[in-house]
Amino acid sequence: MPKKILVLLVLVMFTTMLGRSQQTNSTSQPAPTHVVPLKTFPKDQRFEAVSGDIKKAGEVYVIRIHSEAGYIVMPHFHPEDEHIVIVKGSWALGMGERFNPGALEIMDVGTYGLVAKKMAHFARSRTDAIVQVHGIGPFTTTYVTPMYVLTDQGVLLTTSASEPGQPTSNIPSGCFELKLGTRASGMLGEGLIIGAQCTPGQLTQYRIEKSDGERFWATSEELKTL
């Protein structure tokens, strides 16, 4: 075989192998990375998607949840394991189908908590807090006992934090003894009631807005009217 033809064949083979190598490297490269800094949540924003999609089954997700001081997350469960890390403030986590303050374990910044799938659990924000949650989707929240939510548009009945509540006029007695606009005070300050949540047979908690715009939550037993 002439020397020139041999050299040409070698060059063609080398070029082909190089192209295949580049294609393999391009398909095996990791997905682009990104940095999501911790930030202050605007008023009434409770949820931030950091990575992934909580609705997709089998997909890894990371979210951040803002919880105002005093807020009680009533007993609920998720279809998959929930991994919790406190990134701002102080929180507390407990297990069980009824809210039990004595079962709460304190979680300060950097503390990690694991809740197994379908395990009923509850929590309370000891201060204004941001909770980072990660796991495998889908991430849905189902309340053990349906919750009644008092808003300026009326009362909603909700069974899941993942779905909008439905308007209802069938409100259990004793749920909302204090009305919107009532001035009240508690351990975290005083202000006007701007919202409330009631879990029948357990507790009612009220959302209070101070004169400076700061907001906190307190149970009916913790408040007195002014």
The reported pLDDT for the residue numbered 13 is: 46
- Exposure letters 32-62 (e unless 16+ CB within 10 A, then b): eeeeeeeeebeeeeeebeeebebeeeeeebb
> In which band, very low, low, confident or very high, does the pLDDT at 44 lie, cut at 50, 70 and 90?
confident
- Which tops the pLDDT comparison, 202 or 3? 202
Residue carrying the six token digits 């009532």:
182
Domains in the chain (CATH in brackets) are 47-140 (2.60.120.10), 145-225 (2.30.30)
Q: Report the alpha-carbon distance of residue 187 to residue 194 in Å, rounded.
A: 17
Say how many residues make up the chain: 226
The reported pLDDT for the residue numbered 217 is: 98
Lowest mean pLDDT among 36-45, 76-85, 185-194, 205-214: 36-45
What are 3's two structure tokens? 């020397």
Task: Give the number of C-alpha atoms closer than 13 A to the C-alpha of residue 162, restricted to the C-beta side.
Answer: 13
Q: Above 50 in pLDDT, residue 15?
A: no
Lowest mean pLDDT among 19-28, 78-87, 103-112, 147-156: 19-28
pTM summary value: 0.84
Please list, in sequence order, all residues whose beta carbon lies within 8 angstroms of the beta carbon of residue 49, skipping any fewer than 6 positions away: 61, 63
The reported pLDDT for the residue numbered 32 is: 63
155-165 average pLDDT score: 91
